[in-house]
Amino acid sequence: MDIFRNKLRIPTALVLLAVVLTACAPTPTALPPTGMPTVSETPLVLPSPTTEDTLAAPLPNLPTVSAPSLSRIEMQDVLHGWGVTDTNLVRTLDGGTTWHDVTPPGVTRLGLSSSVYFLDPDRGWLVIPSADFQTGTLYHTTDGGLTWSSGTQPFGGGILFFADEDTGFILVDRGAAAGSQAVDLYSTQDGGTTWSAAYVMQPGVGGNVNTLPFSGQKSGVTFSDSLHGWVGGNIPMEGNVYLYATQDGGHTWTKQPVTLPAGYTNAMTEVFQSRFFTSSDAVIPMRMMAVNFAFDFLVSHDGGMTWAATTPVLAGGQYSIPTIQDFFVWDGGTSLSVSHDGGSTWTSVTPNLNVTDILMKFVFVDASNGWMLTSDASNHHSLYRTSDGGQTWNPLIP
């Protein structure tokens, strides 16, 4: 599962590499604004629901939102998904054609300041920061947004992650300097009702053994269970892979050794959030910046104890990893890079449109079905859908 990921603006010159690596989170890939993309008139054919993707009944007493201006989107399967606008939390039961307003009562603003995580079509969490961003209100639903519980928490937001319906974590930004970032880690064992500090960073001792260093920007947190977790990030240092692991619920951390692939041993890297598909099998996306920009996907088959590099692909921009075998990398241009064998080999798919605006996010739920969110120069957001692996995209929200 993917959380709503941040976006990265790819620079056009290597002199900007250090600037990229000091960014706290990825930003959208900007391409020259030459107008809205031209889309072929190929009819959109939705796949038939499987046993796992059964169409749910319409949400009772919840209004539909016509063409919501989505800033974030997360899909659980071919039918069910969640979205965020500046003012509303919405969800879909039909693959993005129709959206329902499931905003918690009293919430009037969301935008990029809110933190969200969705475990499945029914269970989700939302954090709205207070005015000083030091505390916040966490909302939790177990019925797809029909009802919400809420409570004040000792953090104003951060990167949320839930390993299951009870076990959750949030990586809280406590301030950044040039090339450095202080973070705290809170954990919950009761679905988000109560939280405790698992790790509080002390910048003065951040270089000590068994701690997350103050140096480096952190890009995400993932736990496979209540004890084993990983934090990735970046630091402007050649040949360094910024990946730290914990085996005690986040109290102590150690740097994990990773061997970079041939041709990139001196590259600067950015490690993104890992994704576990089973208790043993996991993938970590890693951007490498040397003479060329490339992606490599670190794979583990021993529960994250060791990570092995796969075949690099010369591509930048956004990524999506719906399965342990299917990887996608795209900057919105004329070539979508695809692997269906776990990163061993890569092929190029030519989409029916060239995104000339900002590719905010694209997400696949399997080898065929994906969604793309774009923004133009006037901040108009559009949503597209593919059911053939990224070759044909059709507008859902033009």
Rg of the chain on CA atoms, in Å: 20
pLDDT tens-digit readout, 164-204: 999 999 999 987 777 889 999 999 999 999 999 999 987 55
Q: What angle (nearest 5°) sits at the alpha carbon of residue 60, between those of residues 59 and 62?
A: 75
Question: What is the residue-averaged pLDDT of the chain?
Answer: 85
pLDDT tens-digit readout, 344-392: 999 999 999 888 889 999 999 999 999 999 999 999 999 999 999 999 9
- pLDDT above 70 as % of the chain: 83
In degrees and rounded to multiples of 5, residue 14 shows phi and psi of -70, -20
Q: What is the pLDDT of residue 161?
A: 97
Q: What average pLDDT score do residues 120-129 get? A: 96
- Tell me which CATH code domain 14-50+63-397 carries: 2.130.10.10
Q: What is the pTM of this model?
A: 0.83
Tell me 308's DSSP state. B
Q: What is the pLDDT of residue 20?
A: 35
Q: Write out the DSSP string of 313-371.
A: BS--SEEE--SSS-EEEE-SSS-EEEESSTTSS-EEE--S----SEEEEEEESSSS-EE
- Structure-model confidence comparison of residues 209 and 90, the more confident one: 90
Q: What average pLDDT score do residues 117-121 get? A: 95
Which residues are within 8 A (CB) of 64 and not within 5 positions of it... i.e. 6 or more apart? 98, 99, 100, 101
pLDDT tens-digit readout, 7-52: 333 333 333 333 333 433 343 333 333 333 433 333 333 343 443 4
Q: What average pLDDT score do residues 99-106 get? A: 96
Q: How far apart are CA 122 and CA 145, in angstroms?
A: 7
253-257 contacts at long range (C-beta below 8 A, 24 or more positions apart)? 253/199, 253/210, 253/211, 253/212, 254/209, 254/210, 256/230, 256/306, 256/307
Q: How far apart are CA 320 and CA 9, in angstroms?
A: 17
- Six token digits for residue 132: 């000083």
Q: What is the pLDDT of residue 27?
A: 39
Collapsing DSSP states into helix, strand and coil, what is residue 112? helix
pLDDT tens-digit readout, 224-243: 999 999 999 999 999 999 99
Q: What is the pLDDT of residue 143?
A: 95
Confidence check: pLDDT of 336 > 70: yes
Residues β-bridged to residue 371: 363, 385
Q: What is the pLDDT of residue 58?
A: 55
